[in-house]
Amino acid sequence: MNLSEELDKIFEEANRLIGSSVDEADLDKNKNEYLGKKGKLTSVLKNLASLSIEEKKTVGQKANDLSKNLEEIVSKTRENLKTKGFREQSEKEWFDTLRPLGESEPGTLHPITKIQYEIEDIFTSMGFEIWDGPEVETDFNNFGALNFTDDHPARDMQDTFYLENGNLLRTHTSAIQVRALRKLKPPFKIIGPGRVFRYEEVDASHETSFYQIEGMVVGKDISAGNMLYTMEVLLSKVFEKEVKTRLRPGFFPFVEPAFELDINCQVCGGSGCSVCKHSGWLELMPCGLVHPNVFKLNGLDPKEWTGFAFGLGLDRLVMMKYGIHDIRYLHSGNLRFLKQF
């Protein structure tokens, strides 16, 4: 029997043996028997030295081809064995992939979410509708329709994250008020909760991403007294007690007159801490009567309609209610902290 015939015989044996492997360990053993350093195919190739140059080329090429074919057979057999193993395991074992294995601890609502739901319940009990809006807004909805001039500082990159297409990440949920003004027929009362973004220097009371609930009431003969009463009802419900507040004059392009509603710091009791910047007070809610220009920009007659608007920072309200000293804890993802709530 010459070397070429011997190679054919070895290939037939290897093909049959490898194809009948019962598991991957058996496959590796059979592969090594023919393709290993001391395998049968390797041993045959050691006899090439006794052949002529032409025979060496012919037999050597044939040996390489057979070796490649056997490697492909090994690979295909390995895949078949894996598929067979999975199939047999699935027939013997069954489990719901969507169901956690063993005991699992149920999740809880984030403290900001809890406060948001509480406030939504309070406002809906007073006849408010809950509105939503996109986090990516147009410049007009975020600024222009709210009476911001083209050169207003809030449009600057130091305050606002602009996108390449000219849109931006909303800096407040006031854009939801704009959408309501255009779609609802007065009178109406709405709130718009959501996440907002600003290019802030992060510290104990400032974050680049935080949550707000902004609201608006539009009707006949709405006054600052209506606004203040609504805010006091809200805060007394949230804190379950009377809370000391104060109104300061402020400036916001979309309201006139404009106010800053401050709350006595509930973390330090008014004695001064890092949260309130040692003033004893925390700015909680810009508010005021809707500016006539906002009505005009959104298709309403300011001689016929009046209203008030406000913006409430949910993060700061959570800090006040639970005595949290640093806003960064709320967005840290620290489960040891979050499980307290």
| Segments of 142-244 assigned E as strands | 168-169, 188-197, 209-219
H-run or E-run covering 77: helix 53-92
Tracing tokens 């590796």 back to the chain, one arrives at: 28
Q: Is 152 exposed, middle or buried (0-12, 13-18, 19+ CB in 10 A)?
A: middle
How much is the CA Rg of the chain, to the nearest whole Å? 37
- Out of 2.60.120.380, 3.30.930.10, 3.30.230.80, 3.20.190.10, the CATH code matching 111-339 is 3.30.930.10
* CB of 315 closer than 8 Å to CB of 330: yes
* CB of 197 closer than 8 Å to CB of 171: yes
Half-sphere exposure of 71 (CA within 13 A, CB side): 8
pLDDT digits 0-9 by tens, 173-232: 999 999 999 999 999 999 999 999 998 888 877 888 999 999 999 999 999 999 989 988
Binding residues: 256
H-run or E-run covering 311: strand 306-313
Structure-model confidence comparison of residues 269 and 103, the more confident one: 269
pLDDT digits 0-9 by tens, 115-172: 999 999 999 999 999 999 999 999 999 999 999 988 888 777 668 899 999 899 999 9
Residue 103 has pLDDT above 80, yes or no: no
Amino acid at 74: V
Assigned token pair, 248: 């300061």
* CB of 281 closer than 8 Å to CB of 263: yes
Helix (H, G, I), strand (E, B) or coil at 219: strand
The C-alpha atoms of residue 118 and residue 112 are separated, in whole angstroms, by 10
Assigned token pair, 143: 């600024």
Binding residues for Mg(2+): 256
Of 262, 264, 225, the closest CA to residue 242 belongs to 264
Tracing tokens 């350093």 back to the chain, one arrives at: 37
pLDDT digits 0-9 by tens, 146-157: 999 888 887 776
Assigned token pair, 226: 């209506």
State pTM to two decimals. Answer: 0.64
- Residue 290's pLDDT band, with cuts at 50, 70 and 90, is very high
